[in-house]
Amino acid sequence: MAETVIRAACPHDCPDTCAMLVTVADGRAIRVAGDPDHPMTQGALCTKVARYPERVYHPDRLLTPRKRVGPKGAGQFVDISWDEALDLAATRLKAIAARAPEAILPYSYAGTMGLVQGESMAARFFHKLGASLLDRTICSAAGVAGLKYTYGGSLGMDMEFVDDARLIIIWGGNPIASNLHVWMRMQEAKRRGATLVAIDPYRSLTAEKCHRHIAPMPGTDAALALGVMHILIRDGLLDHAYIAEHTLGFEALRERAAAYPPAHAAALCGIAAEDIEWLAAQIGETAVRRGEPVAIRVNYGLQRAHGGGNAVRAIACLPSLVGAWRHAAGGLQLSMSGFFPIDMRTLQRMDLLPTWPALPRTINMVTIGDALLHPGDAKFGPKIEAVVVYNSNPVAVAPESGRVAAGFAREDLFTIVLEHFQTDTADYADLLLPATTQLEHVDIHKTYGHAYMLANNPAIAPLGQAKPNTEIFRQLARRMGFDDACFRDSDEDIAAQALRADDPRCAGIDWQSLKLAGWQKLKLARAPFANGGFATPSGKCEFYSHQLAERGHDPLPTFVPPYESPYSTPELARRFPLAMISPPARNFLNSTFVNVESLRATEGEPHLDIHPDDAAARSIRDGMMVRIFNDRGTLQARARVTTRARPGLVVGLSIWWKKLAADGKNANELTSQRLTDLGDGPVFYDCLVDVVPHDADACAA
Ligand SMILES: Nc1nc2c(c(=O)[nH]1)N[C@H]1C(S)=C(S)[C@@H](COP(=O)(O)OP(=O)(O)OC[C@H]3O[C@@H](n4cnc5c(=O)[nH]c(N)nc54)[C@H](O)[C@@H]3O)O[C@H]1N2
Ligand SMILES: Nc1nc2c(c(=O)[nH]1)N[C@H]1C(S)=C(S)[C@@H](COP(=O)(O)OP(=O)(O)OC[C@H]3O[C@@H](n4cnc5c(=O)[nH]c(N)nc54)[C@H](O)[C@@H]3O)O[C@H]1N2
Ligand SMILES: [Mo]
């Protein structure tokens, strides 16, 4: 049988955005592989995405529209036709929109990172409707803000060059699980003699393979970075020329760092002062004394606590202090998505808002639980009457899950969910609409971890009656009577609109060329800030930010303690002495893939890693079922007694589908809806708990 190979892109929320080759035989995708020619993908896919066909052809795929028949949350549906489904949706949305369009809320995130199946036709639809706006903060908002006030945007070094770095600091990230292709390059750097350091409260798969692991308590990274600065300044390990030419506010920063002598910083972080001395000496000696490249790979793990924005800001100052930007293999990367010249105005058409340029209210997606349950107050405004969920699974991924589920259980809420599967959120839908996967639709991708644009050509026809998100919103728009020309754009039209053709960074790249080639690199300088040129108002790396001062924030990076910790809330910490984090499991992608049996089998069941001392104090033995709890909820998991978790820390790798866990819950049962210092992001890893053996608990009850 003839096989064809289609050029595609991995759709998932991961910095690697791989170039994929999909082999199709007789209309069926039989294999997905990494493109061997793509300089980042290098022919390798992660275990999850290598199993993408298993997900696409999974027997549980939603293949017809469905209507709820049982109670909310019970997940009982009957099949209906597309006509019936779209009529029902349009009738309900029209009725609400006639009274109060803001009572309708879209809820979406990064189920696909595609610019077409993400916020294009969907955004046009909700803008035309005048629906509430959604602040899409659930992942990176704090870090994005930290970078914006320091560098002027989500900009940084290109990890394609990290092989040549001499010192690599992996700060709050676990690239073996979440950034595999950059890890492969870091391994190459290691072979060439680079020193690798991990800064992570948990001895992750990555941390155990680094030369040194520093384990601060969660949410304390700003103190660590300020301690490092203190030493660099104290010991004169600075690139004075770079500081003078390309930074703003050094004198003020010097004063700020003076308040963080190593002993003090170390106490805040719960580590030894010697760790901070060692780290500062490594950075200073490599970058300043030897003039060699120092690369810092920051990831989002460290910005999921109260002070997340300031933590990123503090760390982002380090490469400028030592002139690490002078090398292509030096500097810092959290995200480089800001380099991509995307035409958001055309894709999303904000101007379609009936009130334009006045905006409807904005709901922060992190606080969806409270927004659904606390209607009508000053913070949330009018009651939300309808939610349309696509590319997201809020009942599993949003914090304080008990409240999120209670919100979606409201009898007077009309919920539409566009999905591949009957997720925890889909169980609460009134109307469940089957969406296509990446193998079945067109898309175009920018990335946040490298500088390549990618095309996704469809490899197979849609399964069953599944439709692309775009087509669902297109047909809904027609039924709502929206007749602007943009609602007739095909997916290819939208893909062709995505890049700003006039931008020199896209020279030679357009949809036509991309479709054929699969991927093309933006035209960027190899070392983006070697000669300054930051995107801030001053054009410099802003140690001191006038914009932050104007907004009433501390203009200098500072240590903002966690909401929940022994020094910020001693009383709470006596009741709940352990800090819980719930970072990504290697075989899941957020809550995606949890229902793929082979991948779930590798993760086993929900675990909680706990240090032997903390376990002994609670009579917890390895393999025991434990109960984890705080004032927000309770959760069960199987204990793994291990020094991977530092003392005082427990770790539950995530994000499990609640209904696939024995107790129907996941880590978000315990997390809070509070927001970060900058960017209004979530604080998933700012969460005190206690743990007891499950059986003892049953006896006590
Ligand atoms: N396999 C897999 N890959 C993924 C994902 C997934 O779910 N699974 N998720 C994707 C998504 S949405 C994102 S946003 C990215 C990045 O997602 P991130 O959440 O950054 O995940 P990781 O790179 O796994 O790194 C998180 C690491 O930070 C550590 N950490 C937690 N709190 C702190 C802290 O306060 N300080 C410090 N220094 N470290 C801390 C954790 O122990 C963990 O090892 O990964 C993407 N890639
Ligand atoms: N406790 C805890 N909670 C967390 C985190 C954590 O580390 N710990 N991480 C947070 C982070 S970083 C993030 S980014 C969020 C992730 O939150 P989400 O973006 O909601 O991610 P997923 O859980 O992967 O859910 C995406 C859903 O979109 C669906 N989907 C995929 N493609 C399509 C499509 O083309 N059309 C439609 N209609 N649906 C599609 C998938 O089937 C999947 O169910 O979770 C956050 N929540
Ligand atoms: Mo994320």
Could you tell me the distance, in angstroms and rounded to a whole number, from the CA of residue 99 to the centre of ligand 2? 32
Handedness of CA 622, 626, 630, 634 (dihedral sign): positive
User: Which region holds residue 394: left if phi is over 0, alpha if psi is between -120 and 50, else beta?
Assistant: alpha
Distances (CA, A) of 260 to 191, 213, 298: 35, 21, 21
**Residue-wise pLDDT tens digits, 650-687:** 999 999 999 999 999 999 999 999 999 999 999 999 99
**Residue-wise pLDDT tens digits, 163-195:** 999 999 999 999 999 999 999 999 999 999 999
* Separation between Cα atoms, residue 398 and residue 403, nearest integer Å: 10
Phi and psi at residue 519, in whole multiples of 5°? -160, 150
Q: 697 burial class (0-12, 13-18, 19+ CB within 10 angstroms)?
A: middle
pLDDT over 80 (residue 1): no
8 Å CB contact between 40 and 452:
yes
Q: Which ligand is nearest to the CA of 218?
A: 1
Cα 194 to the center of its chain, rounded Å: 28
Pairing of the two strands 19-25 and 28-34:
antiparallel
**Residue-wise pLDDT tens digits, 38-59:** 999 999 999 999 999 999 999 9
* Separation between Cα atoms, residue 228 and residue 268, nearest integer Å: 13
Domain regions of the chain by residue span: 66-136+340-435+466-502, 157-334+528-550, 570-700
Q: What angle do CA 679, 362, 682 make, to 5 degrees?
A: 35
8 Å CB contact between 599 and 48:
yes
**pTM exceeds 0.95 for this model:** yes
Q: Which band of pLDDT confidence, cut at 50, 70 and 90, is reported for residue 700?
A: very low
Residue 112, helix vs strand vs coil: coil
Give the pLDDT confidence score for residue 610 in this predicted structure: 98
Mean local confidence (pLDDT), 261-280: 98
8 Å CB contact between 493 and 474:
no
CATH level 2 (architecture), domain 157-334+528-550: 3-Layer(aba) Sandwich (3.40)
8 Å CB contact between 55 and 45:
no
Cα–Cα nearest to 368, from 193, 549, 136: 136
**Residue-wise pLDDT tens digits, 599-617:** 999 999 999 999 999 999 9
pLDDT, averaged across the chain: 97
DSSP state string for 70-107: SSTTS--EEE--HHHHHHHHHHHHHHHHHH-GGGEEEE
Collect residues with CB below 5 Å from ion ligand 3: 139
| Alpha helix segments (H runs only) across 206-330 | 221-234, 240-246, 250-258, 262-269, 273-284, 308-321
pLDDT over 80 (residue 376): no
Domain 570-700: CATH class, spelled out: mainly beta
Neighbours of 537 (CB within 10 A): 12
Give the pLDDT confidence score for residue 378 in this predicted structure: 82
* Separation between Cα atoms, residue 370 and residue 379, nearest integer Å: 10
State in Å, rounded, how far the first CA of the chain is from the last one: 64
Among 186, 299, 582, 586, which residue has the most ligand 1 atoms within 8 Å of its CB, making it the best to mutate?
A: 299
Order of strands, sheet of 167-171, starting from the edge strand that comes earlier in the sequence: 212-214, 195-199, 167-171, 294-298, 331-333
* Separation between Cα atoms, residue 53 and residue 391, nearest integer Å: 19
DSSP state string for 16-62: T--EEEEEEETTEEEEEEE-TTSTTTTT---HHHHTHHHHHT-TT--
Could you tell me the distance, in angstroms and rounded to a whole number, from the CA of residue 299 to the centre of ligand 1? 6
* Separation between Cα atoms, residue 475 and residue 454, nearest integer Å: 27
pLDDT over 90 (residue 377): no
pLDDT over 60 (residue 269): yes
**Domain 66-136+340-435+466-502 adopts which CATH fold?**
Rossmann fold (3.40.50)
Give the pLDDT confidence score for residue 671 in this predicted structure: 98
Cα–Cα nearest to 318, from 193, 221, 391, 393: 221
**Residue-wise pLDDT tens digits, 622-631:** 999 999 999 9
Pairing of the two strands 167-171 and 688-693:
unpaired
Phi and psi at residue 95, in whole multiples of 5°? -60, -45
Which residues are near ligand 1 (CB < 6 Å)? 13-14, 139, 171-174, 177-178, 199-202, 204, 218-219, 221, 299-302, 305, 581, 583-584, 586, 588-590, 685
Give the pLDDT confidence score for residue 698 in this predicted structure: 47
- Partners of residue 79 on adjacent β-strands: 66
Could you tell me the distance, in angstroms and rounded to a whole number, from the CA of residue 590 to the centre of ligand 3? 7
* Separation between Cα atoms, residue 356 and residue 101, nearest integer Å: 14
pLDDT over 50 (residue 699): no
pLDDT over 50 (residue 433): yes
Q: Which band of pLDDT confidence, cut at 50, 70 and 90, is reported for residue 374?
A: confident
* Separation between Cα atoms, residue 417 and residue 192, nearest integer Å: 50
Q: Which band of pLDDT confidence, cut at 50, 70 and 90, is reported for residue 696?
A: low
Neighbours of 64 (CB within 10 A): 17
Q: Which ligand is nearest to the CA of 58?
A: 2
Ligand 1 nearest-atom number relative to CA 204: 44
Give the pLDDT confidence score for residue 212 in this predicted structure: 98
Cα–Cα nearest to 371, from 670, 671, 107, 68: 107
Distances (CA, A) of 556 to 310, 553, 621: 9, 9, 45
Could you tell me the distance, in angstroms and rounded to a whole number, from the CA of residue 589 to the centre of ligand 1? 11
The encoded tokens of residue 534 equal: 């930051």
Residue 192 DSSP label: T
Among 178, 589, 609, 611, which residue has the most ligand 1 atoms within 8 Å of its CB, making it the best to mutate?
A: 178
